[in-house]
Structure formats: structure tokens, C-alpha cells
Structure 1
Amino acid sequence: MDFTVYGSAFSGLLIVLVTLVVQSFVANMSKARLPNHIPGKIDPSLGHESFAYRAHRTMENSLENLGVFLGSAFLAIFINVDPFWTALTIWVYALVRIVHMILYYLISTEKNPSPRSYFYLLGLLANILLLILIFAQL
């Protein structure tokens, strides 16, 4: 199999992984600055008003979605789903996850839906489209 046709898809996957590393770094650094910080734990009294809470939830939200997304992306590549559509869905997912992250960092709200919710939904739709493409290929 010629994986070179998936170069754009692999680039998008790299962006997804780099975004997660950035989120982890921001979450850990912001939690470390809190008084009485315990590594690996977030103070349960924190809410959306706390940047450390929002940074932690941003990373957790990405982790919650990453497994299904990476599984879908690699399955699409392994079964030779059209490289254009595979790359497009991966890049949409990568970009909307970055916008989701930025909005979560900037907007302190418990309102639902919040602006970040729309970008979460776009990422979910990109993943669903990729799953549909996989089903069609099989």
C-alpha cells in the first residue's frame, strides 16, 4: 500500500497530536501554579471561573474524543478511503479542536451551549463523516 497519498492526512494527525501536547502542557502548568497543588489532581472546588479548571477540561475533552478519532483516521487510511476526503475530515477535526481549545481558554461560562460547543459539534460531525466513508469503503 502506498501511504504517500495520505501525506495531508498524516500532517493533520500531527497537528491533532501537537494540539494535545500543548493542552497537556498548559493544563499542567496552570494547575502547578495553584496553591496547594497536588500533581495529577484537580481541586474539585474549581469551576469555569478558574483557568486551571478550563485548561484541565480542555485536555480531558480532547482525550475523551481522541481514541475514536484516531481509530477512525487510521482505519480510513488502512482500508484506503479516498485520500482527499480522509485528509479533509482530519483537517476539519484538527482545526475545530484548536478553535474549541482557544474558546475554552478564553470564555468562562457554564452556559450550554457555549460557543465552544459548536466547534465540538463540528469535530464530532467530521468524525461521523469519516466513519460513514469507512462504512462505504467496506
Structure 2
Amino acid sequence: MLSLANSAYMAFYLYLIMLLIQWMVATFSKTSQPNAIPGKMNEDLSHDSFVFRAHRTFHNTLENSALFIGTVLFAFSINYQSIVFAIAVWTYLVARVIHMALYYAIATEKNPSPRSYFFLIAVAANAVMLVMVGVRLL
């Protein structure tokens, strides 16, 4: 059984599963469209299209993955184990899953949209993780 501090490993694993699912949803929703061209998104699509939202959900996750993956792997490499760090990793994961679900479900051009709040929660959780690793290095 994993301790709460070690559960960061499980949250990271689930994050990678989420990333795979987002890739599959984006890929298969796009390729199911008539006249789909690999590597090219129809410029006429917007938030009213699930294909657009699935594509943007996946790409938004990719845009945020470098910092998250880097921070978590750096923490793992220095064997940093903390309950607060694990909670931050889980918070990031849950916020990204809710962001994904809202992006899939709500077609809106409104800013901020409901998904924006979960995007910001994930960014804040990532900032907390980064600061915690930095403090550990001091």
C-alpha cells in the first residue's frame, strides 16, 4: 500500500494515462471527420466543434506538461517525499481532469470559462511543487 507521500507516483502515472486518453480522443475525433487531413486542423472550427475542443484540450495539456513533468521527475530524482508535495501532485491531476471534462462538455468562447478556474488551480499546484523542490535544494 502506498503512503500519501509515495502516492505522488500513482498520481503521476494517472496523469500519463490521462495524457494518452486525451491524445486518443483528439486523434480519433479528428480522423472520424470527412476529408480529415493528417496534421492539419480545419481553420473554420471553433469551440462549438467537439473536434476543436478535443484538439485544444490535448494541446493545452501538452503546453503545461513540460513544467509539470519536469518538476515531478526532478522531485523523484532527488527522492523528495512530502505529503504536501503529493497533495499538490494530486491537486494538479484532479484539476487537469476536471479541466478536460469541462472542455469536452462546454462549448463556449466566454473568458473566463468554467474550465479556466481549474486551469489556474493546476498552475498554482505546479508552482507550489516547483517552490517546494527549490526549498528542498536549499
* Fold in common (TM above 0.5): yes
Contact preservation (8 Å) 1:73, 1:86: no
Q: In structure 2, what is the equivalent of residue 114 of structure 1?
A: 113
Q: In structure 1, what is the equivalent of residue 70 of structure 2?
A: 71
Q: In structure 2, what is the equivalent of residue 83 of structure 1?
A: 82
Structure 1: distance between partners of 2:8 and 2:21:
20
Contact preservation (8 Å) 2:4, 2:86: no
Q: In structure 1, what is the equivalent of residue 42 of structure 2?
A: 43
Q: In structure 1, what is the equivalent of residue 97 of structure 2?
A: 98
Structure 2: distance between partners of 1:68 and 1:80:
18
Q: In structure 2, what is the equivalent of residue 19 of structure 1?
A: 18
Q: Report deviation, 1:82.
A: 3.6
Q: Which runs of 5+ in 1 are unaligned?
A: none
* 1:80-130 Cα deviation digits (max 9, x unpaired): 334312211111111110000000000000110000000000000000000
- TM-score (normalised: structure 1): 0.92
Contact preservation (8 Å) 1:77, 1:86: no
Q: Which runs of 5+ in 2 are unaligned?
A: none
Structure 2: distance between partners of 1:71 and 1:125:
15
Structure 2: distance between partners of 1:78 and 1:67:
16
Contact preservation (8 Å) 1:9, 1:83: no
**Quick one: which amino acid aligns to residue 61 of structure 1?**
N
Number of aligned pairs?
135
What's the secondary structure of 1:41's corresponding residue?
coil
- TM-score (normalised: structure 2): 0.92
Moved over 4 A (4+): none
